[in-house]
Every structure is written in structure tokens, then in C-alpha cells.
Amino acid sequence: MFSFSVKDVAFIALDSMKTKWSLGLLGCLLLFLFSCDKTEQKPIDEAKTLFTLVDPKDSGIHFSNTLKETAKENHLVNENFVTGAGVAIGDINNDGLPDIYFSGNQVHDKLYLNKGDMLFEDVTDTAGILKSDSWSTGVTFADVNGDGFQDIYICKNEQGNRDKSANLLYINSGKGTFHKWLRIMV
């Protein structure tokens, strides 16, 4: 008959834990060593890609919705901080080319007119789009008044400031300018 003391049981349990720990560590080490792929990365076959990166110098599009967190403006205080803004693509001057509107959070919105051959012109100022310090959360093109020209609807949301949260509707004059027609409080 075997008899074990508490001291013997504790030693056997500790020894068993060391063995399990050692085996676990050995398993992780082996996994790490054999999971590393030593083959060389193959270059991307340009013929098989659907998109090509276009340099801003070549396209004329200089927009970045850069966010800077502060004590007053961050993802903990404002749940919409990381939801982004929006992009609308449509033909604002009926020339058959898709134009682009970028809405910004902490940066000003931008409207780009497509000149063809992937070249765009920033027409934000000449089109009459106001540079506001309010937070844009989305944008869409739609012919609201049925005149055949795409109008612009911009969603706004300023955390803790209802006055700056009014959505904006810009009516397209058909002559390259927009008129702020309506502020919509939601």
C-alpha cells in the first residue's frame, strides 16, 4: 500500500504543472519556428489588379479626412468620432464625367470637378460651398428640384452643439455654382 503525505502530493502537482508549462512553451516555440514562411513575396501582377493608385499631383485631388483627438474631441466623448465622413460621386455639370464631393469631419468639405483623364479641379470655393467648422457625417447627390442638375445634401453632426448640426441642402444653379437653400435641423 502506498501512502502519500501532503508534501508529496504538492510536489507531484507542482512537477506536473512544470511539465505542462514546459510542453506548452515547447509547443509555442515549435509553432513559431515552423510557421515562418521563408519564401520570397511575389510582386503583384499589375495586369490582374482592378485599381491603380493615382498620385494626388496627377489627379488634382488633395483631400485627407485627418482626425486629431483632443481632450474635448475623442472617441470616448463622441461615439461618432471614428465613423468617418462620406463621399458622393455624381455628374454635377451634366458633362458625362463623375465628379466627387468629399465631406470632412475636422477638415473642410471639398468638391472636385472631373476634367477627364482622371484629372480633377477643386471647385469648392467657386461653386459656393461654405467652409464651415461643423462636422460632416455624410453627403449625397440628388436632383431635389427636378431641373436635371445634381444638388448636394450634406449631413452634419457636431457633438454637443445642436446649432452646428443642421444638415445642408445646396441647390445646383446649372452654371457651376450652388446656393445654400436650406438648413435642416434633425
Kindly report, residue by residue over 107-118, the tens digit of the pLDDT.
Answer: 999 999 999 999
Q: What is the pLDDT of residue 27?
A: 67
C-alpha cell read off for 122: 477643386
Report how far residue 117's alpha carbon sits from residue 138's, in angstroms, rounded to the nearest whole number: 27
69-78, 123-132, 133-142, 168-177: range with lowest mean pLDDT = 69-78
3-state secondary structure of 158: coil
**DSSP 8-state assignment for residue 48:** G
First CA to last CA distance, the chain? 83
Across 91-177, the runs of DSSP E, i.e. the strands, are: 99-103, 110-116, 119-122, 136-142, 151-156, 167-172
- pLDDT value of residue 41: 66
Please give the pLDDT value at position 13: 46
**CB-based contact 104:123 (threshold 8 Å):** no
Residue 142 and residue 177: Cα distance in Å, rounded? 15
Grid cell of 6 as nine digits: 501532503
